[in-house]
Amino acid sequence: MINFLLLPILIPLITGVILIFFSKNIIAQRWISGISSLSTIAVSAILVQKIRQDGIQTLDVSSWDAPFGITLVSDMLSALLVLTTSIVACTTLIYSFRSIGQERERFYYYPCFNFLIVGVNGAFTTGDIFNLFVFFEVMLMASYALIVLGGTKIQLRESIKYLLVNIISSALFVITVAYLYSVVGTLNMAHISQRISEVDQPGIITVIAILFLVVFGLKGAVFPLSFWLPGSYNAPPIPVMALFGALLTKVGVYSIMRTYTLLFYHDTGYTSKILATLAILSIIFGLIGALAFADIKKIIIYNIIVAVGVILFGISVMTTDSLTGSVFYLIHDMLIKTTLFLLIGIIISITGTSKLQEISGLIKKYPGLAWTFFLSALSLAGIPPLSGFIGKLLIVKGGFEAGNYLGAAIVLISSLLILLSIMKIFINGFWGTPRSFEGEKKASVKTLMIAPIILIIISILLGVGAEAVYPYISQAAETLVKPEIYIDAVLKE
């Protein structure tokens, strides 16, 4: 079936629309969205397998040939990210069933959830720069609704900031696309890349590349543009926060990855220097935040910025190794950030607070929770048998090969400090004398634990079975290293 690569976008879209009809029937909403997210996982897994066998899949929507219509392109990178997104979505959904609360469920929580997944999957799959903008907006509109849904004071305040920042960055995105269109006269990414290589990246293209970096940096929280993230991500309830932390910034990172490897790869001296500097600053800034706060939500939120920095550093180095590492780390990070957010959500639901000083001795009563948290903390820092290791190893290796010793060293040191910041939660929160907390409900913890346990198992498998996963990742990185593969697949030459 030629429309197969569309299914991960279409299934959540139809689900979201159908759920509008059942908005008051919570049981039906849960069943329908649960089944649809499971089938999205199945479909995207088959898609990954299909690309492994047959190479890049393209679909010229509405039968218009490549540069003239919208083309959806699913190469290995997109397909893997779509698969990861589906897994993250499904587990977050399972977690939402027990934690989001009936009030929110009755006011279109699940339709918004599905539309967010449509936006993310669409942004990963599209091969058209303006279509990318549209999917960004689909994703952001849904995220505006999710961030404000519930209407508590902090949510209202932070959603205003979030909206303001994103509207400005979207306007800048449109302006940048307009600049690019006036230079190259096309919107199809493969065709843009071809046109740019014909004119050999003059100065104006470098300006546009930096503008894209600003736009996607605002979406993906790269250092000087990440000012909005700690506040905004602190506001919504935990499942929404997990979804945002795992998916939204990563779409920005993916877009930087795509534009910098597919479009602006001819004159990289200047752009990659800026990218590397911003990446290293993001790592440092994120680490300062992660170490400074004694609030478990804030620690994880600042760790997002660190991870964005690490991935971007891999992209800026532009060797095969570092790009492979970036792809691996991106996938690992989406999974592990969801796990961590869901776990601290459980901690908060037990203790009723996110302040680290008020929590201690949880390991006595909740050993399962404690050891799951311990594993995910080790995985986040990149301890060898777990999934965070290989990505970082390849990024560091790429950094040393390319002669960027300072950056690679900072990536290495960052692992240590990430470990420190996350072990601070483990040591203060789980060890020590047990306390009793208000609102302890042991039964609900067990059902909440399902989602993070599934995620940590996948994450461990990703690390232990790296040998089996590696061919997929390296196929994804191959398209990034050799953009001709992508261009040929889209323009069919």
* Least CB distance to another protein at residue 15 (A): 11
* Least CB distance to another protein at residue 73 (A): 13
Asked if 23 interacts with another protein (CB under 8 A), we say yes
φ, ψ (nearest 5 deg) of residue 432: 90, -175
CB of 6 or CB of 222, closer to another protein: 6
Asked if 21 interacts with another protein (CB under 8 A), we say yes
DSSP for residue 441: -
Per CB under 8 A, the list member of 47, 48, 59, 378 interacting with another protein is 59
Sign of CA dihedral 373, 423, 275, 167: positive
Q: What totals of helices (H) and strands (E) does the chain contain, helices first?
A: 23, 2
Asked if 10 interacts with another protein (CB under 8 A), we say yes
* Least CB distance to another protein at residue 2 (A): 6
Q: What type of residue is 379?
A: S
Per CB under 8 A, the list member of 60, 128, 158, 321 interacting with another protein is 60
With CB under 8 A as the contact rule, which of the stretches 5-13, 141-149, 159-167, 293-301 interacts with another protein? Answer: 5-13
Per CB under 8 A, the list member of 62, 102, 433, 436 interacting with another protein is 62
Q: H helices of 149-267, where?
A: 153-184, 189-199, 203-220, 229-234, 238-243, 249-258
SS3 222: coil
* Least CB distance to another protein at residue 67 (A): 15
Per CB under 8 A, the list member of 53, 63, 433, 436 interacting with another protein is 63
Q: For another protein, how many residues bind (rule: CB under 8 A)? A: 17
- The number of angstroms, rounded, from the C-alpha of 249 to the middle of its chain's C-alpha atoms is 5
With CB under 8 A as the contact rule, which of the stretches 55-63, 149-157, 298-306, 473-481 interacts with another protein? Answer: 55-63
For the chain, how many residues are written? 493
Write each residue from 332 to 361 as x if it is in contact with another protein (CB under 8 A), else as -, in one continuous string.
------------------------------
In angstroms, the CA 370 to CA 355 distance is: 17
In angstroms, the CA 342 to CA 445 distance is: 11
Asked if 61 interacts with another protein (CB under 8 A), we say yes
Residue 243 tokens read as 């979804």
In angstroms, the CA 255 to CA 215 distance is: 10
In angstroms, the CA 391 to CA 330 distance is: 8
CB of 163 or CB of 450, closer to another protein: 163
Asked if 13 interacts with another protein (CB under 8 A), we say yes
Asked if 6 interacts with another protein (CB under 8 A), we say yes
Look-up of token digits 């960027």: 404
Look-up of token digits 């003239």: 68
Binding site for another protein (CB under 8 A): 1-3, 6, 10, 13-14, 17-18, 20-21, 23, 59-63
